[in-house]
Amino acid sequence: MKLTYTIDGPAITYTTPAGVRNRARAAWVDAAVVTQRVGDDGISVRVESSLSPDGKTLVRMLHGEAAQGSADWTYVYDRVVRKE
Protein backbone atom coordinates (compact mmCIF):
# COMPACT_ATOMS: atom_id res chain seq x y z
CA MET A 1 0.00 0.00 0.00
CA LYS A 2 1.31 3.44 -0.89
CA LEU A 3 0.08 6.52 0.96
CA THR A 4 0.82 10.13 0.06
CA TYR A 5 0.62 12.78 2.76
CA THR A 6 0.87 16.54 2.48
CA ILE A 7 2.84 17.71 5.52
CA ASP A 8 0.69 20.13 7.54
CA GLY A 9 -2.06 19.52 4.98
CA PRO A 10 -5.48 17.96 5.11
CA ALA A 11 -6.17 14.51 6.50
CA ILE A 12 -6.27 11.59 4.08
CA THR A 13 -8.69 8.69 4.19
CA TYR A 14 -7.77 5.22 3.01
CA THR A 15 -8.92 1.63 3.38
CA THR A 16 -6.49 -1.13 4.32
CA PRO A 17 -6.39 -4.47 2.49
CA ALA A 18 -8.27 -5.87 5.53
CA GLY A 19 -11.09 -3.41 4.85
CA VAL A 20 -10.47 -1.00 7.75
CA ARG A 21 -11.08 2.67 6.98
CA ASN A 22 -8.43 5.02 8.41
CA ARG A 23 -8.07 8.77 8.66
CA ALA A 24 -4.52 10.10 8.91
CA ARG A 25 -2.52 13.30 8.74
CA ALA A 26 1.11 14.33 8.90
CA ALA A 27 2.64 17.44 10.43
CA TRP A 28 5.97 18.91 11.47
CA VAL A 29 6.46 18.96 15.24
CA ASP A 30 9.75 20.70 15.97
CA ALA A 31 12.31 18.78 13.86
CA ALA A 32 10.19 15.62 13.49
CA VAL A 33 7.52 14.52 11.06
CA VAL A 34 4.57 13.13 13.00
CA THR A 35 1.85 11.02 11.42
CA GLN A 36 -1.31 10.12 13.29
CA ARG A 37 -3.99 7.75 12.15
CA VAL A 38 -7.26 6.59 13.63
CA GLY A 39 -9.13 3.64 12.22
CA ASP A 40 -12.78 2.69 12.30
CA ASP A 41 -11.55 -0.38 14.21
CA GLY A 42 -10.71 1.86 17.19
CA ILE A 43 -6.95 1.56 16.79
CA SER A 44 -4.88 4.75 16.73
CA VAL A 45 -1.20 5.00 15.90
CA ARG A 46 1.17 7.96 16.24
CA VAL A 47 4.56 7.78 14.49
CA GLU A 48 7.27 10.38 15.13
CA SER A 49 10.19 10.26 12.69
CA SER A 50 13.33 12.32 13.14
CA LEU A 51 16.74 12.42 11.50
CA SER A 52 19.93 13.03 13.48
CA PRO A 53 21.76 16.31 12.75
CA ASP A 54 24.51 14.44 10.88
CA GLY A 55 21.94 12.65 8.73
CA LYS A 56 23.20 9.20 9.69
CA THR A 57 20.44 7.97 12.00
CA LEU A 58 16.68 7.87 11.55
CA VAL A 59 14.60 7.28 14.69
CA ARG A 60 10.92 6.29 14.47
CA MET A 61 8.93 6.23 17.70
CA LEU A 62 5.51 4.61 17.52
CA HIS A 63 2.66 4.72 20.03
CA GLY A 64 -0.42 2.57 19.47
CA GLU A 65 -3.69 2.49 21.37
CA ALA A 66 -6.59 0.06 21.17
CA ALA A 67 -9.33 -1.25 23.43
CA GLN A 68 -6.90 -3.90 24.69
CA GLY A 69 -4.32 -1.33 25.82
CA SER A 70 -1.40 0.63 24.46
CA ALA A 71 2.11 -0.14 23.27
CA ASP A 72 5.25 1.76 22.30
CA TRP A 73 8.01 0.84 19.86
CA THR A 74 11.21 2.59 18.84
CA TYR A 75 13.07 1.77 15.64
CA VAL A 76 16.58 3.09 15.00
CA TYR A 77 17.99 3.00 11.48
CA ASP A 78 21.68 3.62 10.89
CA ARG A 79 22.82 4.79 7.49
CA VAL A 80 25.15 2.37 5.77
CA VAL A 81 27.31 3.63 2.94
CA ARG A 82 28.30 0.90 0.55
CA LYS A 83 31.80 1.05 -0.85
CA GLU A 84 32.05 -0.10 -4.42
The Cα–Cα gap between 54 and 82 comes to: 17
Q: Which range marks the domain in which residue 43 is found?
A: 12-78
- How wide is the angle at C-alpha 34 spanned by C-alphas 32 and 35, nearest 5°? 155
CA angle 8, 14, 16 (to 5 degrees): 130
Q: What is the pLDDT of residue 83?
A: 86
In DSSP terms, 58 is beta-bridged to 51, 77
Collapsed DSSP state (helix, strand, coil) of residue 64:
strand
pLDDT per position as a tens digit, 2-42? 889 999 999 999 999 999 999 999 999 999 999 999 999 99
81 Cβ contact list (under 8 Å, min separation 6)? none
Report the domain count for the chain: 1
Domain annotation covers residue 46:
yes
pLDDT at 58 exceeding the cut of 90 = yes
Q: Residue 63: give its domain's CATH number.
A: 2.20.25
